[in-house]
Amino acid sequence: MNYKILILVQALVWANLSYSKYLPGTDRKAFSKLVDGLSKKQLAQIKAGFSLYAKGWVTAPSSTRVRDGLGPHFNAVSCVSCHQHNGRGRPPVKGLKPDFSLLIRLSISGENKNGGPLADPIYGGQFHPRSTLGVKSEGALNLKYNKKVITLSDGKNVELQSPSYKLDNLNYGPMSPDIRISPRVAPHLAGVGKLDRVTEQSILEYSDEFDQNVDGISGRANYVWNIIESKKTIGKFGWKANQPTLLQQNAGAFNGDLGITSSLFKKQNCSIGQVDCSTALDGGELEISDKHLGFVNLAVASIDVPQVKRLKYYEEGRKIFESLDCHKCHRPSFELESETISAYTDLLLHDMGEGLADKRSDFMANGREWKTAPLWGIGAQKETNGHTFLLHDGRARNVEEAILWHGGEAKKSQLGYINLSKDERTSLIDFVNSL
């Protein structure tokens, strides 16, 4: 064979191999590796889906028919604007142009017809600081931190930052006096396809709503509206387990965050009072088709979790993780049909105390309850996203601060952490950062 042809063949083989291992065009690859066993056809669909997920959507009408229909109200122009490198977002930083990976859910007291949070009559269920040309945005987010200090048993002081949020420049008049807000940052997306396959029955195995084993921990499942099944099913995605399936989560993100309608979410994000918004041109009845939504869903579902790193004190840390009851919520494993996964979540809701409370219910989750955050992938966050911010609103700047925010059912674990020696703390954090 002519050597030029040989090089060409090698390049093709290499391109195919590297593409089949990672999402196309991605750098900082910890959250971009694809699961094994995907067929050529699936890889082609993932490529198409990833482009709809990663490239910016534009205002309708446009020559880019496949990706038009942005807004009229929106938070960001693409999924990766918030899930950068498929990783985790962060709260806005003072002095820098605000990024919008922190979104604000809105509701008032009462329930909607599906048992979910009742939207504000004007501003809806999510605050949109951005809008297309000719349409007013809903306003701006103002975030401030107050400091508080926790002293550990060996005298070390840890400063925690407690956020307070204000929604300013409200362009459609005042919000309901009864408004409740829930700030949330974008979690990383590695492993979500595996969580989608966890069965209801295996989640319920760990639930102990009335704390019958009297260990102070009483996880319970959220049941949320499942649009396709037209009934409530167990919730898994989002910080309060407020979405039942990956498909509905993704379609919900297209609608709520980008303003893209689909067969699952047919309405634009405009209320009756927002005339400029409801009369703006749109990208057709369904701005993303079922076929394309399916491709995006396959792409997101195919992101694998990074390998466990086993840092220096992994083994010592694992024992402390158990002795402080961390594993009782951060459940080490789930059995799927064909594999065991180690997500370190029970996918259940827990009362986390007043400090973390958003005072806003979300289906069965009350204002103090959050889904146990999965810990897998946590150690890859720094290299991938350039920061170590954690918790639902990104207030914790590292693992230690995240643990110190634990209260409610996790108060015993938090106190246990405060009483550890410096070496023990290092070991526990090493373990968490290995996952």
Rule CB under 6 A: which residues touch ligand HEC? 53, 75-76, 79, 81-83, 100-101, 103, 184-187, 189, 192, 217, 237-239, 242, 246, 249-250, 253-254, 257-258, 296, 300, 321, 324-326, 328-330, 350, 352, 356, 370, 372-373, 375, 390-392, 399, 402-403, 406, 409-410, 413, 417, 428, 432
* Beta carbons within 8 Å of 198's beta carbon, 6+ residues apart: 236, 334, 336, 341, 347
Which helix (H) or strand (E) segment holds residue 403: the answer is: helix 399-405
CB nearer ligand HEC, residue 270 or residue 424: 424
Cβ nearer to ligand HEC, comparing 53 with 313: 53
Shortest separation between residue 187's beta carbon and ligand HEC, angstroms: 4
Considering the complex, state which of residue 151 and residue 279 has its C-beta at the smaller distance from ligand HEC. 151
Q: How far is the CB of 381 from ligand HEC (least distance, A)?
A: 8
Instruction: Select 33 or 328, whichever has its Cβ closest to ligand HEC.
Output: 328
Backbone angles phi, psi at 418, to 5 degrees: -60, -35
Q: Which is nearer to ligand HEC, 1 or 214 (CB)?
A: 214
Cis before 187 (ω within 30): no
Alpha-carbon dihedral angle through residues 222, 71, 86, 160, given to the nearest 10 degrees: -70
Element (H, E) at 162: strand 157-168
Q: Who contacts 348 (Cβ-Cβ below 8 Å, separation ≥6)?
A: 203, 206, 207, 219, 220, 221, 241, 329, 371, 372
Minimum CB distance to ligand HEC, residue 208 (Å)? 11
Per the structure block, which two tokens stand in for 5? Answer: 């042809």
Q: Which is nearer to ligand HEC, 119 or 373 (CB)?
A: 373
Query: CA of 203: how far to CAs of 103, 195, 208, 221, 347, in Å?
Result: 28, 11, 11, 8, 7
Supply the minimum distance, in Å, between the C-beta of residue 172 and ligand HEC. 20
Nearer to ligand HEC, 7 or 308 (CB): 308
Q: What's at 188, amino acid-wise? A: H
Residue with tokens 């029955």: 201
SS3 string, 24-59, reads CCCCCHHHCEECCCCCHHHHHHHHHHHHHHHCCCEC
Minimal distance, residue 101 CB to ligand HEC, in Å: 5
Name the minimum Å distance from CB 238 to ligand HEC.
3
Residue 150 Cβ vs ligand HEC, minimum distance, rounded to whole Å: 14
